[in-house]
Amino acid sequence: KAGVTQTPRYLIKTRGQQVTLSCSPISGHRSVSWYQQTPGQGLQFLFEYFSETQRNKGNFPGRFSGRQFSNSRSEMNVSTLELGDSALYLCASSGQAGDEQFFGPGTRLTVL
């Protein structure tokens, strides 16, 4: 079974731009969660989608948004990028609540 995939793996943007990251979960998984990882703050929960519905959201500004499609693939969008948005963005998928979360390799976003 193929693992969680994320595209692109690396991205360079400038301040003020917007960016869209993509996550394809393991086949059959319906839950996708997104995390931001930085050296200072560590791993922080962004939001989680299940069957195209956002079930919960972490403590991030409204510039961070996401969506999930009917095939469970998910995208997250960051608008009006700031230097502090430079981070590794990880997504994780699981089948149901209570199941193990499987992480993707991450997308490394650099904001200049």
Partner 1 sequence: AQRVTQPEKLLSVFKGAPVELKCNYSYSGSPELFWYVQYSRQRLQLLLRHISRESIKGFTADLNKGETSFHLKKPFAQEEDSAMYYCALSRDSGGGADGLTFGKGTHLIIQP
Q: Could you tell me which stretch among 9-17, 47-55, 60-68, 71-79 binds partner 1 (CB under 8 A)?
A: 47-55
Which part of the chain contacts partner 1 (CB under 8 A), choosing from 8-16, 19-27, 69-77, 90-98?
90-98
Q: Which stretch binds partner 1 (CB under 8 A): 7-15, 63-71, 73-81, 103-111?
A: 103-111
User: Which positions from 27 through 46 interact with partner 1, judged by CB under 8 A?
Assistant: 31, 33, 35, 42-46
Burial (CB count within 10 angstroms: exposed 0-12, middle 13-18, buried 19+), residue 100: exposed
- Of 13 and 73, CB closest to partner 1: 73
Percentages helix, strand, coil for the chain (3-state, rounded to 5) are 5, 55, 45
**How many other C-beta atoms can be found within 10 angstroms of the C-beta atom of residue 73?**
15
How many CB atoms sit inside 10 A of residue 78's CB? 25
CA distances from 88 to 30, 56, 97 (A): 23, 20, 24
Q: Which is nearer to partner 1, 56 or 80 (CB)?
A: 56
Q: Is 50 in the site for partner 1 (CB under 8 A)?
A: yes
State in angstroms the smallest separation of the CB of 21 from partner 1.
16
